[in-house]
Structure 1
């Protein structure tokens, strides 16, 4: 029986553990914070739970259009303490569920930290474990080691979080009340999601973006559409503005921009990316290559440069998505334990931004098509023409499809809509299974439905084929 040690219990770690246990390996997971790791306890699960509360508030917007008189958003109050307690309660419940699943599968779960020990002769790797609540360490001789330690919010030297007024996204749930005026620094996915959620809850939001649009790495049409929604709902967006420093001023904060301007608010949320948790693991000493950025380079089956040492998840810098982390972990175990395995294919990974409306993408990007790297035909259908969208009074959003010029094979798509995270699924299936626009066009959809626009987009591309 192979002994496997997994350092880190987030999606990469616990999904890997479940696969390895299923394949009858002896599996130990060492996790510092709790089953599910930061993803479940402080990042993805809490933030999406928080966003779910903001969506409830959004339901009171423009109800008169439907003939419903609710006194509007002004009549809605948000109990921040109750919201935050729910966030924490659901995170702990999800962590408990993950822990139970691991234990039921026969995985040994250790609360603590671990590092690679001294290199030893033979075919094992020594892992030194430091359990919480104990001064003594012990070593495990493992056949396979998976590094799945995740990442931590990046901190600016000129904007050090204090947990009170200057915050990372992990600290917002400890606030006794909602910010009176929030400044969000960083307009990537995390910054945009929190800016959207707080705006929906009635908080005046200023979003500081160092680029010419929010979410600069997302589809330009989609990012522009969401920025227009943000502005229409009252958000102040400072494009091409770089935050140089954040300081406490009385009961608020002052953000100094690189051009000399200053912005004041009650709180500042720092959302400028993450740094990998790879210090203190003994990686370099053991001979594992670590990039200058701190990430651990891996191949498409999650191998590092040292045989028997794998890495998965945010610590690898491949793609910071829980779904990708989980698949990297599974692939590592399938490969390590001799199972048939398909190397990681990022081209078929769907991603979603949980703003309002949501932004979901899969496959090739608009930039790849525009600069000629990927030849493609495309069509973009505004949701405003969709019957179900009209019934729901949805004016913003669209469905976009990309296909190969000759064969009509679907190679990508973008959806901007409520629940785009669900609507992207049929496009993802089409990309994964090399379906053509003709096949998608001949699929009967529910009428009326937002998903009908996906089939309609395919029909328009199919008509181009016939022309």
Structure 2
């Protein structure tokens, strides 16, 4: 018999927490999880899943715009934001139910309330109940970071954007990361007038510069107004609209202002000070390679640790934690060559080193590119070209990175990422027969 109520108590039922709970339970552990909001966390409830569905909805506007070239006549077509929003939220409900079923089918006890840490082996629930656990896992994810300026309470974040009662006719987006670029692209495609305010002269830091430049060119051609090297000084209400002051020109009038300036680890108010858990300057929980904090009985996974803020990474961390602590299989996560994508229109994706990173580390590199107009774009009025590039070590021929922008780039990149992870050479791609006609064939025809 255990000296504790549970072998494992998880705070946060997002992707990482649910995976850790399920795997630990499958190893025979008695597990409980507390979630103060909804099961599924950022990705399922207010992140990548509903966002991708909005992307699909907004992409249809582009398809509809040149349906006549495909031979289709569509009369009286109109867009209903409420219909799309309601469908997306209904699917979020469905997914939350599936996550709940996963927990219950593995006999994980669920507390639908906030939990805080009272001691190395003690958790206090919002109801006042205190429970004990041999191991505590923190998987509370991240939260939108909102800069301080007068009127920031009039703005929304990515948490609220899915629940807007009506589509804004005009939208100001502050930020230069993937969240800002994706929502700017979504609403632009749906017909909203979009302005992006970014405090630096660069967006999407960490992605290949040439690919980002192509994205910016296309986005501006599609009508998104980019205002670089400035930031919001204040927002004030003017009747039914908002006035966005940047200090450099006349204020921008907008129906909504979306703040997308990054996310911070959601570690406040968890009682970490009660057990001496060390935090980084940005509030991230410090952990070792096995996800263990400075308190021996407490671990953390996912965005609250601020390592790589991606759902699949949180899932792998949660799985590795459960295997290490409860499965007798101590293992770590390899963070090299993690593929990522930005679901703009068109989307961009990349894996491995950018050209700048490769030249800095390797010196001698070769860059192979394909700059082409996808066949699908022949039907569109937008003369947009795709761009694929491969960065190769000049000495060994090993592929150091692959980056692309164009229709379905994330779908293509996922398979290409396997090749980069496996350490394949450019010759392996050259030796592969092209699948024609396809966009993916460009990867084996790069010159």
TM over 0.5: yes
CA distance in structure 1 between the partners assigned to 2:354 and 2:383 by the alignment: 25
Q: TM-score, normalised by structure 1?
A: 0.88
* Structure 1: gaps of 5 or more residues: 120-124, 461-467
CA distance in structure 2 between the partners assigned to 1:89 and 1:387 by the alignment: 35
Pairing 1:205-220 to 2, within 5 Å after superposition: 205-220=194-209
- Residue among 16, 20, 30 paired with 1:26: 30
Tell me the equivalent position of 1:156: 147
* Cα deviation 1:260-308 (Å, max 9, x = unaligned): 5422222211111112211121112201101221111223332222223
CA contact (8 A) 1:347 1:362 kept: no
Compared CA separation, residues 307 and 81, structure 1 to 2 (3 A): same
CA distance in structure 2 between the partners assigned to 1:341 and 1:389 by the alignment: 49
Tell me the equivalent position of 1:443: 432
Tell me the equivalent position of 1:463: none
* Cα deviation 1:134-153 (Å, max 9, x = unaligned): x431212x222211001111
* Cα deviation 1:155-199 (Å, max 9, x = unaligned): 23325555xx62112222332221111111112110110000000
CA distance in structure 1 between the partners assigned to 2:376 and 2:442 by the alignment: 10
CA contact (8 A) 1:159 1:166 kept: no
Could you tell me how far 1:126 is from its partner in structure 2?
A: 1.8
CA distance in structure 2 between the partners assigned to 1:26 and 1:265 by the alignment: 52
Q: Does 1:285 align with 2:285?
A: no
Over aligned residue pairs, what C-alpha RMSD do you find?
2.3
Pairing 1:229-268 to 2, within 5 Å after superposition: 229-259=218-248, 261-268=250-257
CA contact (8 A) 1:116 1:127 kept: yes
Tell me the equivalent position of 1:122: none
Tell me the equivalent position of 1:465: none
Q: How many residues align?
A: 442
Q: Does 1:103 align with 2:127?
A: no
Task: Give the match's secondary structure for 1:403.
Answer: strand
Tell me the equivalent position of 1:89: 90
Larger RCO (CA within 8 A; separation ≥ 6):
2
* Cα deviation 1:318-374 (Å, max 9, x = unaligned): 121111111121122222235445522222211111111111111112221243466
* Cα deviation 1:384-437 (Å, max 9, x = unaligned): 2x6676588873221111222222122211121122111111221012212222
Compared CA separation, residues 378 and 341, structure 1 to 2 (3 A): farther
Compared CA separation, residues 430 and 391, structure 1 to 2 (3 A): farther
Compared CA separation, residues 318 and 160, structure 1 to 2 (3 A): farther
**Once structures 1 and 2 are overlaid, which stretch shifts more, 46-55 or 169-178?**
169-178
Compared CA separation, residues 190 and 159, structure 1 to 2 (3 A): farther
Q: Does 1:12 align with 2:3?
A: no
CA contact (8 A) 1:183 1:206 kept: yes
Q: Does 1:168 align with 2:151?
A: no
Tell me the equivalent position of 2:130: 138
Tell me the equivalent position of 2:412: 423
Q: Does 1:128 align with 2:124?
A: yes
Compared CA separation, residues 257 and 391, structure 1 to 2 (3 A): closer
* Structure 2: gaps of 5 or more residues: none
Compared CA separation, residues 149 and 416, structure 1 to 2 (3 A): same
CA distance in structure 2 between the partners assigned to 1:17 and 1:394 by the alignment: 49
Q: Does 1:199 align with 2:188?
A: yes
CA distance in structure 1 between the partners assigned to 2:383 and 2:248 by the alignment: 38
Could you tell me how far 1:237 is from its partner in structure 2?
A: 1.1
CA distance in structure 2 between the partners assigned to 1:374 and 1:14 by the alignment: 43
Compared CA separation, residues 151 and 307, structure 1 to 2 (3 A): same
**Once structures 1 and 2 are overlaid, which stretch shifts more, 309-318 or 326-335?**
326-335
Could you tell me how far 1:65 is from its partner in structure 2?
A: 4.7
Task: Give the match's secondary structure for 2:34.
Answer: strand
CA distance in structure 2 between the partners assigned to 1:61 and 1:229 by the alignment: 17
Q: TM-score, normalised by structure 2?
A: 0.92
CA distance in structure 1 between the partners assigned to 2:429 and 2:26 by the alignment: 36
CA distance in structure 2 between the partners assigned to 1:212 and 1:408 by the alignment: 34
Pairing 1:178-197 to 2, within 5 Å after superposition: 178-197=167-186
Compared CA separation, residues 116 and 258, structure 1 to 2 (3 A): same
